[in-house]
Chain A
Amino acid sequence: MDKVQKISSENGVVIFSKSTCCLSYAVHILFQELGVIPYVHEIDRDPEGKEIEKALSRMGFNGPVPAVFISGTLIGSTNEVMSLHLSGSLIPLLQPYRPLN
């Protein structure tokens, strides 16, 4: 859907989350720790939230939030982010967006 594509292409690191979701918050904290400031879009505070959820599921994302995009690509949820980080593959993906390196 346009909105998801729009947001994910306009921002390097995007987290679609809910204001009450503490796992989304955890991912947010992790990115901050790695020197990245992600764009957080809370779908429960968006009137078009339902549409966004549908769009995400059309892209193959079925889980609960967070849904993470890096460089316009859907990475996945917390599991995927953590796996990438432990294998050392997350930081290279975030490299363009780490101002202080």
Chain B
Amino acid sequence: MNSASTQFIPTRRMGLYEPTSQMGMWNDYRENNFMDIPPPVILDVNSRFDNQSEDTSHGTVGPSNKYDQEASKPVDKVLRRLAQNREAARKCRQRKKAYVQQLENSKLRLMQLEQELERVRQQGLYIGGGLDTGQLGYCGTTNPGIAAFEMAYGQWVEQQNKKNADLRDALYSDIRDVELSSFVEDGMKHYFDLFAMKETAARADVFYLMSGMWRTSAEHFLSWIGGFRPSELLKVLMPHLEPLAEQQRLELSNLRQSCQQAEDALSQGLEKLHQFLSDTVAAGQLGEGPYLPQIRAAMDKLDDMVRFVGQADHLRKETLMQISRNLTPRQAARGLLALGEYFQRLRDLSSLWASSRRESA
């Protein structure tokens, strides 16, 4: 690409070219066959100089070669100059045309890339559960159960955001407690729906669920057995439930302790499963002969894994139910809103983490 097009200024006036491009034109001219230039029949030389129009070939066409012959030498130069201008103009038009063509192609390509990016983002939405498109990689489409879960979870997150916004509006409006209760019921049910989805997905691929690939990075970092840790959730919620009656405070404190004990027990059970799996696979002689019995024995543990994830979700469900039983509708609504916003913040944080990683790369 010659310099002229990269410095293209959108103007029809050829005279506004930078000097460097003029140099280029002169160089081009030398290579030209003089015969290609249209016949020089200009009369009004002065105005021709002044009128630096791009399209010099549209100049007045007159007959008189006689005039030229009389003042031949300077006229020759002028004619040659004009011919060169025309040639330059022609080349300029050609380059402009080529440049515009290139722009059109780039625009098309950009549109295609944007569509592709949007499509990948949609998948990232389902896979990452958020805008964190830094999470690629899991080929969930090879497992239809997981692919279905990813789709459903993406929708669940969108619905969750909408329900949260509606709940916020309801809380700040002049709504009666009984109506607020129905918002709370609906919000809780939405979380229970997620647990049901997870149960189905666990049967399809429990390791996928445990890996947290379907959640954003911040959510996964803070997770416990495939989801939020109930006792931690209580800790997050408590300040937002104030003011609390003493009895409520006591009950919630007891609930938190019970959660911690239950979580502890499940964690140790999972640790035992971990050990058991390792021992089972390593049993017998490593490095010799068939190991099918060991593999088969380990396969049985798959069901246990599924049960553990189910137990963790059961604990989450029970915790949410217990919390709401101890609260007034307004307190429960505030708690639910706080919960939703907490997770939304984690999802947003993950997006920022991902984009900051991309920028620094």
Interface on A for B, CB 8 Å cutoff?
20-23, 25-27, 29-30, 33-34, 64, 78-79, 82-83, 85-88
Contacts and interface: CB of A to CB of B under 8 A. Distances in A.
Contact of B270 (A22, A64, A83): A22
B261 A33 contact: yes
Contacts of A79: 311, 314
A60 to B, nearest CB: 19
Given A20-B300, A82-B314, A26 B258 contact: no
Given A78-B311, A82-B314, A88 B254 contact: yes
Given A20-B276, A88-B251, A88-B258, 19 more contacts: A22-B269, A22-B270, A22-B308, A23-B304, A23-B311, A25-B268, A26-B268, A29-B268, A30-B261, A30-B262, A30-B265, A33-B261, A33-B264, A34-B261, A82-B314, A83-B314, A85-B261, A86-B315, A86-B318
B255 interface: yes
Contacts of B318: 82-83, 86-87
Interface string B310-333: 010011001100100000000000
B307 interface: yes
A26 B314 contact: no
B322 A21 contact: no
B278 to A, nearest CB: 13
B322 A86 contact: yes
Contacts of B308: 22-23
B304 A86 contact: no
Nearest to B261: A33
B266 interface: yes
B303 to A, nearest CB: 8
28 contacts: A20-B300, A20-B301, A22-B270, A22-B272, A22-B304, A23-B269, A23-B307, A23-B308, A25-B268, A25-B272, A26-B266, A26-B268, A26-B270, A26-B272, A26-B311, A29-B268, A29-B269, A33-B265, A78-B307, A79-B311, A82-B262, A82-B314, A83-B314, A85-B261, A85-B262, A86-B262, A87-B318, A88-B258
Contacts of A85: 258, 261-262
Contacts of A26: 265-266, 268-270, 272, 311
B265 A22 contact: no
Main secondary structure, interface of B, reads helix
A22 B308 CA distance: 9
A58 to B, nearest CB: 23
B257 to A, nearest CB: 10
B259 interface: yes
Contacts of A82: 262, 311, 314-315, 318
Interface string B278-305: 0000000000000000000000110010
Contacts of B319: 86
Given A33-B261, A34-B261, A86 B255 contact: yes
B273 interface: yes
Residue from B265, B269, B273, B276 having most chain A Cβ neighbours under 10 A: B265
